Amino acid sequence: MKIAIVCYPTFGGSGVVATELGIALADRGHEVHFVTYRQPVRLELLNNKIHFHEVHVPEYPLFQYQPYELALSSKLVDTIKLYGIELLHVHYAIPHAYAGYMAKKMLEEENIHVPMITTLHGTDITLVGKHPFYKPAVTFSINNSDVVTSVSASLKSQTLEIFDIKNQIEVIPNFIDKSKYSSSFTDCQRSLMAEDDEKIITHISNFRKVKRIPDVVRIFHKIQEKIPAKLIMVGEGPEKEGAEKLCEELGIADRVIFLGNSNEIDRILCFSDLFLLPSESESFGLAALEAMMNKVPVISSNAGGIPEVNENGVTGFLSEVGNITEMAQNALKILSDEKVLEAFKIRALKSAEKFDILNVLPLYEEVYKKAYQSRLNKSYS
Ligand code: GMT
């Protein structure tokens, strides 16, 4: 099948999921066309099965805001026509579902029918999408998608609560490619990061407010009072500077390493003992799943879809948002005993394997088939 994928190309869950999905689809013989404003960060290889089409938005002084949706929908129309694309899969409702719908309508004028699948990822619903300035357009785009999927059951129920949705929403969880981990590093050079007796605790995110970055620092502060430890902070975002200041104020700046964005997530997780995710809101928590696949237990909040990934007492522990004392205590329960740590590591990996791409990809292919079939029915009616 020829599939166009629209996503954000940046570091961030939805872009990562879209890119990995596209790569896996291409491996299964589909022809995949990414349409976005920059080559997605995890998309290194372009070949005859994986194409990238850049959306350009020409600057014009009259516009205070450059119309990205317009450029995206025009690019979609051109790409779909030029390559005979059969299906459009947009990740993150804003503004992708809206632009995708416009492209669909323009193509229908020329009797070209392309079904659109919209995957909801989280903040497109729980944070940005529900804002009154966007809500009508988001509701419209969801209701006018041929198929809507959400990355967790929690996100599905939040979507149904917030919006007046007439469409079905299918839950297809995020996934991870287990085969990429079987050949993982034998030497992850842990000694470059910490002393042998120090535990390594990691946080990876886009450092936005919902991630509760100060909680990450404060949990670590409590942990390192009891055991030798280092904190590795991976990612860039608005909360990073404040976090660096907080580390200085708490006198732990020498034990916290800020690495910025990284393409070596697996290597970092390879030498990590624990992952922290105290988010205010999280539709799934892909970063937690990546940690678990690298045998790293997770200390997290119980927000949104996190409990669908991190099982309390099994792969880590869950606490109410903001309960940093309990989170630190739980972290110490795991880290203070090597046997306990090892047991959590093994269970984290086992649980992550449920989300292997081999189990999840067929669910997307099923949805594609259904949408494509309905397109055929429409073109003949
Ligand atoms: O975490 C973010 O803020 C980035 C955001 C995104 O769209 O890139 O992540 C959302 O989508 C991820 C992939 O489906 C989920 O794993 C994250 O939980 C979700 N983030 C939130 O809901 C805050």
Distance CA 327, CA 311 (A): 14
∠ Cα 148 149 154 (to 5°): 125
Q: How confident is the model at residue 185 (pLDDT cuts 50, 70, 90)?
A: low
Distance CA 234, CA 65 (A): 31
Tell me if 281 CB under 6 Å of ligand 1: yes
CA nearest neighbour of 117 among 82, 160, 163, 149 = 149
Is the pLDDT confidence value at 317 over 70?
Answer: yes
Tell me if 158 CB under 6 Å of ligand 1: no
pLDDT reported for residue 12: 76
Tell me if 146 CB under 6 Å of ligand 1: no
Is the pLDDT confidence value at 156 over 80?
Answer: yes
| Secondary structure of the chain as H, E, C letters | CEEEEECCCCCCHHHHHHHHHHHHHHHCCCEEEEEECCCCCCCCCCCCCEEEEECCCCCCCCCCCCCHHHHHHHHHHHHHHHHCCCEEEEECHHHHHHHHHHHHHHHHCCCCCCCEEEEECCHHHHCCCCCCCCHHHHHHHHHCCCEEEECCHHHHHHHHHHCCCCCCEEECCCCECCHHHHCCCCCCCHHHCCCCCCEEEEEECCCCHHHCHHHHHHHHHHHHHHCCEEEEEECCCCCHHHHHHHHHHCCCHHHEEEEECCCCHHHHHHCCCEEEECCCCCCCCHHHHHHHHCCCCEEEECCCCHHHCCCECCCEEEECCCCHHHHHHHHHHHHCCHHHHHHHHHHHHHHHHHHEHHHHHHHHHHHHHHHHHHHHHHHHC
Is the pLDDT confidence value at 369 over 90?
Answer: yes
Quote the ligand 1 centre to 263 CA distance (angstroms): 18
CA atoms within 13 A on the CB side of 309: 34
Average pLDDT value for residue range 145-154: 97
pLDDT reported for residue 175: 96
CA nearest neighbour of 24 among 172, 235, 145, 142 = 172
The per-residue pLDDT of the chain, averaged, comes to: 94
Tell me if 300 CB under 6 Å of ligand 1: no
Distance CA 78, CA 100 (A): 12
Tell me if 174 CB under 6 Å of ligand 1: yes
Is the pLDDT confidence value at 376 over 80?
Answer: no
Ligand 1, atom 5: nearest CA belongs to which residue?
Answer: 13
The position carrying tokens 């880290």 is 335
pLDDT reported for residue 264: 85
Name residues whose C-beta falls within 8 Å of residue 186's C-beta, 6 or more positions apart in sequence: none
CA atoms within 13 A on the CB side of 156: 15
Q: Token pair for residue 319?
A: 């606490």
Is the pLDDT confidence value at 377 over 70?
Answer: no
Among 130, 284, 302, the mutation site with the greatest number of ligand 1 atoms within 8 A of its Cβ is 284
Quote the ligand 1 centre to 83 CA distance (angstroms): 30
Average pLDDT value for residue range 179-201: 80
pTM, 2 dp: 0.92
pLDDT reported for residue 302: 98
Tell me if 122 CB under 6 Å of ligand 1: yes
Contact 324, 222 (CB under 8 A): yes
Tell me if 125 CB under 6 Å of ligand 1: no
Quote the ligand 1 centre to 14 CA distance (angstroms): 6
User: Which of 8-17, 177-186, 271-280 has the largest mean confidence?
Assistant: 271-280
Could you tell me the domains of the chain? Answer: 2-175+357-380 (3.40.50.2000), 179-355 (3.40.50.2000)
Is the pLDDT confidence value at 44 over 80?
Answer: no
ω into 278 cis (within 30 of 0): no
Contact 298, 310 (CB under 8 A): yes
- Beta partners for residue 117, in sequence order: 89, 147
pLDDT reported for residue 378: 62
CA nearest neighbour of 180 among 120, 119, 269 = 269
Point out the least confidently predicted range of 191-195, 221-225, 297-301.
191-195
pLDDT reported for residue 5: 98
Q: What percent of the chain has pLDDT over 70?
A: 97
Among 286, 355, 364, the mutation site with the greatest number of ligand 1 atoms within 8 A of its Cβ is 286
Average pLDDT value for residue range 261-276: 91
Tell me if 283 CB under 6 Å of ligand 1: yes
Tell me if 121 CB under 6 Å of ligand 1: yes
Is the pLDDT confidence value at 186 over 70?
Answer: no
Of residues 333 and 372, more confidence is placed in: 333
